């Protein structure tokens, strides 16, 4: 069964550094999402992406964040200058023509 | 403001017993409601998805109900197994102007013990 994959599984970075989290959505899906989950808290929506542009973003998704679909398979989340509070699990999800979003296994980001 | 509240926060049950998890929401306009299972440190996995016109939907030992009038949903787990230990998250979507907004509940942490 096709799956959403994410790399890396874990990332440790210094405050102020840039990180890029990568996702490979399910191949025929057209809608892509990033979520984050701070340890012990609920999942929070960051951004949705369709037709090569952002369709929706939350208040969390400020100028430090950007998303890109650099080629036909990858979907990336870039955090330009990481802060301590960016430490979280970041989930990518993709959706086809149905209603269900399929989540990847997540990237655990730790900012020191 | 769109909100999804779940109860109880946590629950411990004996293996083989049934349990019911609750979800109340104030999301508008309503598009669909999904229940996800999230194992610790993993991504959520979809269990059921229900639209406005659906009252009940089953997926194996999981049965979800939806009352769109009272804006309540429940997830019933039958004959629980140790592998059911996870967080169960209620997620409500609204569709406005073609954009899908998703609101996650805080989850119910279920522990099934032998």
String of DSSP letters for chain A = ----EEE-SEEEE-TT--EEEEEE--TT--EEEEEEE-TTS--EEEEEEETTEEEEE-TT--TTEEEE--SSS-EEEEESS--GGG-EEEEEEEE-SSS-EEE---EEEEE-
Percent of chain B with pLDDT over 90: 68
Chain B contacts of A44, Cβ < 8 Å?
Answer: 104
- Taking the CA of residue A39 and the nearest CA in chain B, the distance in Å comes to 9
Tokens of B3: 């909100």
* DSSP-assigned letter for residue B29: S
Contact between chains at A44 and B104 (C-beta distance less than 8 A): yes
| Of the partner residues B36, B49, B106, the one whose CB lies closest to the CB of residue A99 | B49
**Over the stretch B45-88, which tens digit does the pLDDT of each residue have?**
889 889 888 999 999 999 999 999 999 999 999 999 999 999 99
**Over the stretch A59-107, which tens digit does the pLDDT of each residue have?**
899 999 999 998 878 999 999 999 999 999 999 999 888 778 899 999 9
pLDDT confidence of residue B111: 97
**Over the stretch A29-63, which tens digit does the pLDDT of each residue have?**
999 999 999 988 889 999 999 988 998 888 899 99
Chain B contacts of A36, Cβ < 8 Å?
Answer: none
Question: CB within 8 A of A29, min separation 6: which ones?
Answer: A94, A95, A96, A102
Chain A interface includes B100 (CB < 8 A) = yes
**Four-CA torsion A20, A26, A30, A31, nearest 10 degrees:** -60
Contact between chains at A106 and B41 (C-beta distance less than 8 A): yes
Minimum Cα–Cα distance from B43: chain A residue:
A105
Place of tokens 């049965």: B63
Interface of chain A against chain B, CB under 8 Å? Answer: 4, 31, 33, 35, 41-45, 48, 55-56, 89, 91, 93, 99-106, 108
Chain A contacts of B43, Cβ < 8 Å?
Answer: 4, 91, 93, 103-106
Name the helix (H) or strand (E) containing B58: strand B56-59
């Amino acid at each position: 069964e096709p799956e959403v994959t994410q790399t890396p599984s874990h990332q440790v970075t210094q405050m102020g550094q840039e990180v890029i989290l990568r996702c490979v959505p399910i191949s025929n899906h057209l809608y892509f999402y990033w979520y984050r989950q701070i340890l012990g808290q609920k999942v929070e929506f960051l951004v949705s992406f369709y037709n090569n542009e952002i369709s929706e973003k939350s208040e969390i998704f400020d100028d430090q964040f950007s998303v890109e679909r650099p080629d036909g398979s990858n979907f990336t989340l870039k955090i330009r200058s990481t802060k301590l509070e960016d430490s979280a699990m970041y989930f990518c999800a993709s959706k086809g023509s149905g209603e269900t979003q399929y989540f990847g296994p997540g990237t655990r980001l730790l900012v020191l | 403001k769109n909100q999804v509240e779940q109860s109880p926060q946590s629950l411990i049950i004996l293996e083989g017993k049934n349990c019911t998890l609750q979800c109340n929401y104030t999301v508008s306009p309503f598009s669909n409601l999904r229940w996800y299972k999230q194992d610790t440190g993993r991504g959520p996995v979809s269990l059921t998805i229900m639209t406005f016109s659906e009252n009940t939907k089953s997926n194996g030992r999981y049965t979800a109900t939806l009352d769109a009038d009272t804006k309540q949903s429940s997830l019933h787990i039958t004959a629980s197994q140790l592998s059911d230990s996870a967080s169960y998250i209620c997620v409500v979507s609204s569709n406005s102007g073609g954009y899908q907004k998703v609101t996650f509940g805080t989850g119910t942490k279920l522990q099934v013990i032998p």
